[in-house]
Structure 1
Amino acid sequence: MPKLTVQRPSGVEEVLDVPAGDSVMEAATAAGVSEIEAICGGDMICSTCHVYVVDGPVDALPPVSDEEDEALGFVKAPREPGSRLSCQLPMSDAVDGLVVRVAPTQ
C-alpha cells in the first residue's frame, strides 16, 4: 500500500497508508484531515482540496489538466508551482512516498 505524508498547516505531519486508486483527497479526508474541505467531493469545481506537492515521486503524478488549471485559478491560498487539487492526485505504487502540504486556507 503506498504511503502518503500529509503536512497540515499547523506543521503536524501524518503518514497514511493509502489503497492504490484512492485520491490524495479521499485518503486525507478519510484520515480526518479536516483542513481539506473537499466540498464538491472530488468533482473539481470547488477548489477546496488545494495542496502543495512538496516531495516524493512528483514526476509520476499525472500532469495538470486544463480543467484542473482553471479550477486552481480560484484557490484562496496563494498558488505555487506545486499547487494541485488533491482530488486529481491518484495514489499508486508509483507515487509511494508522496508528500503534500495542505494549503492554509481553502
Structure 2
Amino acid sequence: MREKIISNPLKALWLSCCLGVLLVTFMRQDDKDIGIIFVYVMSILAFPSGIIVVMVVAWAAAMLASNSVSSSPDPFIQEIAGIVIWAFITVAGYIQWFVLVPWVWKKWKSRSLNRS
C-alpha cells in the first residue's frame, strides 16, 4: 500500500515533466536549438532507455532522409515527428521507471528475504 502512495505522485511528477518538455518545445519553435534541448532533457528523464530510443530514432531518421528527395521537410511533418519521438521516449521511460524497476526491486527484495 505504501508503494502505491509513494509511486503515484512520482508518476504524476515524471509525466508532468515529460509533458512540460513537449509543451515548451512547441511554444519555442522559433529557437533553433530547441530540438537539441528537447532530446537532451527527454533523454535525461528517461535515462538510460531514452538514449537508446533516441539512437534508434536517429538511425531511422537518417535512413529516411537518405531516401528523401525533398531538401526541406514540411513543418507539419516535423511537428508530428516530434510528437512521435516524444511518445516513444515517454513510453520507454515510463516502462523503465514504473514497470521494470519496481519489478526488479520486488524480485531483489524477495530474493534477499529468502536468503535470510
Normalization by structure 1: what TM-score? Answer: 0.28
The structure with the greater share of residues assigned to strand is 1
Question: Normalization by structure 2: what TM-score?
Answer: 0.27
More helix per residue: 1 or 2? 2
Structure with the greater relative contact order (CA < 8 A, sep ≥ 6): 1 or 2? Answer: 1
Give the greater-gyration-radius structure (CA): 2
